[in-house]
Amino acid sequence: MPSILEVKQIVKIYGAVTAVDGVSFAVEAGSCFGLLGPNGAGKTTLIEVIEDIISADSGEVLYKGEPRSGAFREEVGIQFQHTALLAYLTVRETLDTFHRLYRAPHDLEELIDLCHLKDIRDQYNDRISGGQRQRLMLALALVNRPKLLFLDEPSTGLDPQARQNLWGIIEQIKSQGKTIFLTTHYMEEAQFLCDDVAIMDQGNIITRGSPEELIRAHCGGATLILPKRSLEFPLSCEFMNYRELRDTIEIQTSDVNACVRELMRRGTDLDGMSIRTPNLENVFLNLTGRKLRE
């Protein structure tokens, strides 16, 4: 697939701090690309450079193989994490206001249906819930029929039901062939939505790949969890690296089948056993550490 967005050797420096240190990558058209990283990694600065909100000190950003121009602003949509809306406008009036800013906007009724806004179209902006507000913000980002959509922490603060609903809408948008550039602190969200993920830390991209590739590369094996009463001690098998946690035993293994066979050979009661496999959150923590960042 051709690249719709190319980031080449971007550098941004604030005083003595290099926020972005020579970052390069390309985003394929029609994909969902996720940029992840801890607080202070340089994500926000990099995204603002890409969105043409701030200028880089060096490097360049290409859209469809060319330097960004007026076409870039016409063809991208941005859902910011924090956006102020006019309290005295309804949802429909807000959409109509933004609709008038573009030459070839999305049909409003289709947009209202897509983002599940029909039931609240006549409510004022300050009278809608957090989930409804995020769906409205997504609709505003889509009003110009963007080819490239930036979603900045789209599900922050949403309850699980509202988050799942939003994911469904994003999946539908992706199925229309749009390219999505996603930033999120929810690793489950990135693993569910993204085809390609880059993890950024200290101004650099430290790894990149599909969620499945990153999990295979940076997290091995699985964890078997059993009630302590099911086991006899000691567990003296070479692949049984385990630890006790209150009423359960967690067995770390690189070969689930062999471990289960050994437990069955010992006559272990496997009722209540669960298997936990690594996920993108494990990758993130393994690469960026577990220490809290301010």
pLDDT of res. 208:
97
In the block, tokens 């959509």 appear at 149
In the block, tokens 């009278």 appear at 127
Residues 6+ apart with CB under 8 A from 34: 182, 183, 184, 190, 193, 194, 196, 197, 198
User: Model pTM?
Assistant: 0.87
- The helix (H) or strand (E) run that includes residue 214 is helix 211-218
Tell me the domains of the chain and their CATH numbers. Answer: 31-41+70-216 (3.40.50.300), 221-277 (no CATH)
Q: How many CB atoms lie within 10 A of CB 104?
A: 7
* CB distance 38 to 184 below 8 Å: no
pLDDT by residue, tens only, the chain of 294 residues: 679 999 999 999 999 999 999 999 999 999 999 999 998 999 999 999 999 999 999 999 999 999 999 889 889 999 987 778 888 999 999 999 999 999 889 999 999 999 999 999 999 999 999 889 999 999 999 999 999 999 999 998 888 998 999 999 999 999 999 999 999 999 999 999 999 999 999 999 999 999 999 999 998 788 899 998 877 766 665 556 888 888 888 888 888 898 888 888 888 889 889 999 999 999 999 999 866 555
For CA atoms 279, 282, 286, 292, the dihedral sign is positive
Task: Retrieve residue 86's tokens.
Answer: 């006019």
Phi, then psi, of 277 in degrees rounded to 5 = -100, 155
pLDDT of res. 294:
56
pLDDT of res. 176:
93
Residues 6+ apart with CB under 8 A from 260: 224, 270
- Outline where DSSP puts E strands in 124-240: 148-152, 179-183, 196-201, 204-209, 222-227
Type of residue at 189: E
CA separation for the pair 190, 174 (Å, rounded)? 14
- Outline where DSSP puts E strands in 68-203: 76-79, 148-152, 179-183, 196-201
